[in-house]
A and B are shown apart, each in its own frame.
Chain A
Amino acid sequence: GAVVSQHPSRVICKSGTSVKIECRSLDFQATTMFWYRQFPKQSLMLMATSNEGSKATYEQGVEKDKFLINHASLTLSTLTVTSAHPEDSSFYICSAIRTSGNPPIYNEQFFGPGTRLTVL
């Protein structure tokens, strides 16, 4: 299978601090990963596309200086929420693309288990 992990699963922090969330593809290499945010009883909202070895691409309305993304290897992308505030409290989910098939199928995404961030 294709397994994606996230760490931590849950984090509580004080307002003004920074929090780093890791997303790892455990059994495949992922040149592209995605970060989503999900507020209670709402849908997944795409925040940014994380590309290995290059800058992330942010969706409209997402502050790149607040949500720092680093994709330093083919199996790891990190999201850092800088100067977190209570309104940043949310469920953050990553996903990774795995190419499969012959010819390659690029659309298949595998999701991590999510990280629940609570900012006090």
Chain B
Amino acid sequence: GENVEQHPSTLSVQEGDSAVIKCTYSDSASNYFPWYKQELGKRPQLIIDIRSNVGEKKDQRIAVTLNKTAKHFSLHITETQPEDSAVYFCAASGGYNKLIFGAGTRLAVHP
């Protein structure tokens, strides 16, 4: 089955800096790669996603890149703000629409 690895587990940046989180997946049949932000005790919120027919997608300060050959995808957050502090999860989905999540990255943005 699918396995998703996520790095780093924690990330601390200064406000205004960029943050990058990387994930790798094992199943070459996976074709959908969402990123979620989760605050303590809350549901995961979709922040951006990318499908396997696209190499890059951007939405304001957030971008995701996908390298299908290497089976890895990355989340880029520019001009970080304190409210970006949360836990971020990557996920991969292939057959049967099942989502397999990475272990998560705890991002802390310091003013």
* A residues at B contact (CB < 8 Å): 32, 34, 42-46, 49, 57, 60, 91, 93, 95, 97, 106-107, 109, 111-114, 116
Contacts and interface: CB of A to CB of B under 8 A. Distances in A.
Contact of A109 (B42, B97, B104): B97
Contacts of A42: 103-104
Contacts of B103: 42-43
The 3 A-B residue pairs with the shortest CB-CB distance, nearest first, are A107-B32, A111-B43, A43-B101
B101 A44 contact: yes
Given A112-B43, A114-B42, A114-B43, A46 B97 contact: no
A107 B93 contact: yes
Name the residue among B31, B32, B43, B89 with the largest chain A CB count within 10 angstroms. Answer: B43
Nearest to A93: B43
Given A107-B32, A112-B43, A114-B42, A49 B96 contact: yes
B73 to A, nearest CB: 14
A103 B101 CA distance: 26
A43 B102 contact: yes
A49 B103 CA distance: 20
Interface string B24-51: 0000000110100000011110000101
Contacts of A45: 101
A44 B98 CA distance: 12
Contacts of A106: 97
A109 B99 CA distance: 9
Given A93-B43, A109-B97, 13 more contacts: A34-B98, A43-B89, A43-B102, A43-B104, A44-B101, A45-B101, A49-B96, A91-B41, A97-B97, A111-B43, A113-B43, A114-B41, A114-B43
B97 to A, nearest CB: 6
Nearest to B102: A43
Nearest to B106: A41
A46 B93 CA distance: 12
B62 interface: no
Contacts of B100: 46
Contacts of A107: 31-32, 34, 49, 51, 93, 97
